[in-house]
Amino acid sequence: MKTKIMAIALALALALGIGGIATGVEASDVKSLRPTEANQADAAPSIYKVVEGVRHERAYRQQPPLVPHPTDKYEIDVKVNQCLRCHEWPYADQEKAPKISDLHYIDRSGVRQDTVNGNRYFCKQCHVPQNDAKPLVENKFQPATLNTNLR
């Protein structure tokens, strides 16, 4: 019984596929709801400039710090993390860069490790550069009253 149903389904799929080919619909006949035609490429989105050299205040208590420099060309993969070259504990003083928080060295069990924990290794998941983009929608967000010890 199951084999018979599968055979019917396959025959139906083939019939529909062949029927679709036989209609002769071309891409140029397709009408789009978008402002551009379906066969035209959209313009590339504008690239916003990264706000460099400014240490950004945090908007809420546990917010990851924003990055005050571009990171788009940084290599971060399972073998290399260019962020660590300046921000890991041994190098931060000589590079005059903020040190990675001690929390980045603690694993899920609360055990301190000598290297950055794998759960915190991909920096750009949380830490992003600030750019000069305008808000997408109007909002009335006000940052929380922050303690200056958050830095």
Work out the percent of the chain whose per-residue pLDDT is above 90: 36
87-96: Cβ within 8 A, 24+ apart: 88/116
Residue 22: is its pLDDT beyond 60? Answer: no
- Show the tokens assigned to 35: 């402002």
| Three-state secondary-structure class, residue 28 | helix
- Band of pLDDT at residue 7, cut at 50, 70 and 90: confident
CATH of 52-132, one of 2.40.10.10, 2.60.40.420, 1.10.1130.10, 3.40.30.10: 1.10.1130.10
| Three-state secondary-structure class, residue 87 | helix
pTM, to two decimals: 0.60
At 70-115, the pLDDT tens digits run: 998 899 999 999 999 999 988 999 999 999 999 999 999 999 999 9
The residue ranges of every structural domain in the chain are 52-132
